[in-house]
Amino acid sequence: MTQKVAVITGASAGIGAALARHLAPAGTHVVLVARRHDALETVASTCGGQALVVAADVTKRTEVARVVRASLERFDHIDVWVNNVGRGISRPPSQLTDQDVDAMVRLNVKTALYGMQEVLPHFQARKAGHFINVSSMLGRIPFAAVRSAYCGAKHFLDALTATFRAEVQAEFPAIHFSLVSPGVVRTEFGVNALHGGVDSRQLPNSQSAEEVAAVIAGVMDSRLPDVYTRAGAQARVAAYYAALGVDP
């Protein structure tokens, strides 16, 4: 039986690295993608020879296309593409600049758009495939004003995932699109936010990257279209909109 191949962007640390370490021992070939080659090699060293390292900047479409080619040259096929690249921001909406908004869309939306567009022909040729887009609870509830444009970018990603699913599954029902929405995760996300930020690892009610990775691995099997990584998250979203007098 052909081994499953999963491409993971943003794989040099955090959720992406944790997902690679979760999948590889079970026999999945993982393609690790990020800009930092040395960091990717460190992650690959924990994957038991199941990893291909491709250093690339996925904010550039040509680089994403190169990742697709390298993956197919090595493994002949791709089963799952995980769009995990993203970056936060620490700036309220009244102070946002054009550059802030452009950066949030480039990092959180275009990286996923390029991945889906560049891999889609391969999935269509196989009549099967699975995209997993890592979003955020802030894509459901814009409860952190300081994250402003990040909230908007993740709302954009959520809508893009749903509309891609509607378009593609009309002809290719075995090509799946899943959205995974974590809350606060104990990674360097906060301190790496544009304009700096609070360390996510110090915030209460957080999850480990390993917990989120386990949920994503489960989605690879279930192919559910929309998944939260914390129990009670869906009820929290419903309560937020109910308090506004809106029926979600």
pLDDT digits over 158-200, tens only? 999 999 999 999 999 999 999 999 999 999 999 999 999 888 8
**Better-predicted residue by pLDDT, 90 or 205:** 90
Q: What is the pLDDT of residue 204?
A: 83
Task: Give the mean model confidence (pLDDT) for residues 141-145.
Answer: 93
Which segment of 40-49, 83-92, 195-204 scores lowest on mean pLDDT?
195-204
- Three-class SS state of 53: strand
What CATH number is associated with residue 229? Answer: 3.40.50.720
Tell me, yes or no, if 150 is annotated catalytic.
yes
Give the separation between CA 180 and CA 178, rounded to whole angstroms: 7
- In-domain check, residue 248: no
Torsion angle of the four alpha carbons 237, 243, 247, 248, in this order, in degrees rounded to the nearest 10:
-20
- In-domain check, residue 234: yes
Q: Which domain holds residue 138?
A: 5-243
Q: Among 114, 150, 228, 241, which one carries the catalytic annotation?
A: 150
pLDDT of 1 > 60? The answer is no
Average pLDDT along the chain = 95
Give the separation between CA 12 and CA 38, rounded to whole angstroms: 9
Sheet architecture: strand order including 29-34: 51-55, 29-34, 5-9, 80-83, 129-134, 175-181, 226-228
Q: Are 28 and 52 in contact (CB under 8 A)?
A: no
| Confidence band, pLDDT 50/70/90 cuts, at residue 32 | very high
- Three-class SS state of 180: strand
Percent of the chain with pLDDT over 70: 98
Give the separation between CA 80 and CA 217, rounded to whole angstroms: 11
Total domain count, the chain = 1
The number of beta carbons lying within 10 Å of the beta carbon of residue 97 is 10
- Mutual angle of helices 111-126 and 148-169, in 10-degree steps: 10
Q: Are 57 and 34 in contact (CB under 8 A)?
A: no
